[in-house]
Amino acid sequence: MAADGKRSKGSRLFSYLGKRKTRESTPTPHLMEELNAPKRDVPLWSRAFAPLGFVLVMVAMGVGCFYLGSPAVGVLFCLFGILPAVAVVALVARALPGVFGPQRRAGEEELGPYLGGGGDKRVREMSPGLFEQEREKIEWNRAEEADRTWRWLQALPCGVERVETTSDDGTRLAGRAIACRPDSERWLVFAHGYADNWRAGLTYARRYAEMGFNLLLVDLRAHGESGGAWVGAGWLDRRDVVAWCRWVVSRAGEGARVTLAGISMGAASVLMACGEEDLPGQVRACVADSAYDDFWNTAVGVVSSGSLGTPPMPAHPVIDLARLSLRLRRGGYDVVSARPVDAIARSAAPVLLVQGEDDKVVPTYMTDALAAAAGGAAAGEGHEVVKIPSAGHCCAVFADPERYWEAVGAFLGRWA
């Protein structure tokens, strides 16, 4: 079986390398003009008012018909204006808890959403538009890492310890510590993406452990075993990351050297934590993989393009109503506050931004915006950007693991 596996790997990689030149000389199917579209500003409700204006016009026409002695026509106008609006509001109110509410059942695969049994489906969903040989390479590297991680976990000289802490607002937070190097001051705090849990960090755990890090893989609020009524989009989570850093310092001592790392929404969370004034000084570096520059732009893009597998639909007024509804709920907040692009400019810790060039969830212009903002940050010249070709959302580590870990290792070797 081992020999067959090697032949299969060799044939796949040979096919990929042999066709790579063809790909480079063929017009890309990835719709790069869509990926790098201009930034969408928060509309300040202007687009939400357009449907409202339609409703008001229909009602006004209905009232006019009543006044002119045509009540039946007036009723039709009023219903035509009001019923669709009521339906949209009801739909948003019903869907909100499913989208922003607790994601307790997420990430139940033993090795996590990427390395577990459903990982092949996940990486395909995150990498639409790639050529088949590119997807095959990603899936092969994913399967290899799954096997290596499984064997690494079986051979761990320490256990996977469940740990807890409490955030500023009293929210109970849970995570897993893999502290096999009690003499090491290097700790890595890892934050997963939306609708996952701490197990998503297992994709990266083995490599970071081999660099000498003790690991803390956390459940973001409203995910896994952590408390919280609403998904934080990185905004609420920034304070939770600060709380976890304090937990590490209390356990490892004042000499601790902490690195923050995350993917997608977790990357946004650690970036925003880096902008907090009370972030412990022991935080030496941050690795943000597939981080968005602000949540609003990401949500508008995902809803309108269907880049996460949902049917494409007009983002407005649905997203505006969702924003308003979340603000009015108990414990809610304004999702527009989730802007890592503002926080990174205040970061005292050097940041490594990792981005897949074929990411349709977080377009490359968002990474460029983060990099531009980081240029004026307190960490000065410490920030770096690595873009990985043929990689979708959170798939850079599989598209080119050698380059990925070479960049991460060199960066952390300098700063952490």
CA angle 153/156/159 to nearest 5° reads 95
Question: Which pLDDT tens digit goes with each residue over 213-243?
Answer: 999 999 999 999 999 999 999 999 999 999 9
Question: Which pLDDT tens digit goes with each residue over 326-372?
Answer: 998 999 999 999 999 999 999 999 999 999 999 999 999 999 999 99
Question: Which pLDDT tens digit goes with each residue over 175-188?
Answer: 999 999 988 999 99
In a domain, 82, yes or no: yes
Going across the sheet that includes 172-178, the strands are 161-166, 172-178, 214-218, 186-191, 257-263, 283-289, 351-356, 384-388
pLDDT bucket at 12, cuts 50 / 70 / 90: very low
In a domain, 299, yes or no: no
In a domain, 137, yes or no: yes
Question: Which pLDDT tens digit goes with each residue over 248-299?
Answer: 999 999 999 999 999 999 999 999 999 999 999 999 999 999 999 999 989 9
Contact call for residues 326 and 333 (beta carbons, < 8 A): yes
Mean pLDDT calculated for residue range 199-226:
97
Is residue 147 domain-shared with residue 284, that is, in the same domain?
yes
In a domain, 312, yes or no: no
Is residue 205 domain-shared with residue 69, that is, in the same domain?
no
Is residue 85 domain-shared with residue 179, that is, in the same domain?
no
Is residue 208 domain-shared with residue 66, that is, in the same domain?
no
**CATH code assigned at 220:** 3.40.50.1820
The token pair that represents 5 in the structure block: 């596996």
pLDDT at 90: 77
pLDDT at 24: 35
Amino acid letter, 344: I
In a domain, 382, yes or no: yes
Beta strands in 100-185 (DSSP E): 161-166, 172-178
The pair phi, psi for residue 76, each rounded to 5°, is -60, -45
Q: Give the pTM.
A: 0.82
Is residue 59 domain-shared with residue 155, that is, in the same domain?
no
In a domain, 29, yes or no: no
Distances (CA, A) of 122 to 265, 373, 393, 395: 16, 31, 10, 10
Q: Quote the domain boundaries for residue 212.
A: 112-294+338-415
Mean pLDDT calculated for residue range 158-183:
96
Is residue 280 domain-shared with residue 249, that is, in the same domain?
yes
| % pLDDT > 70, the chain | 81
- Count how many domains the chain has: 2
Domain boundary among 100, 131, 163: 100
Is residue 79 domain-shared with residue 132, that is, in the same domain?
no
Is residue 95 domain-shared with residue 139, that is, in the same domain?
no
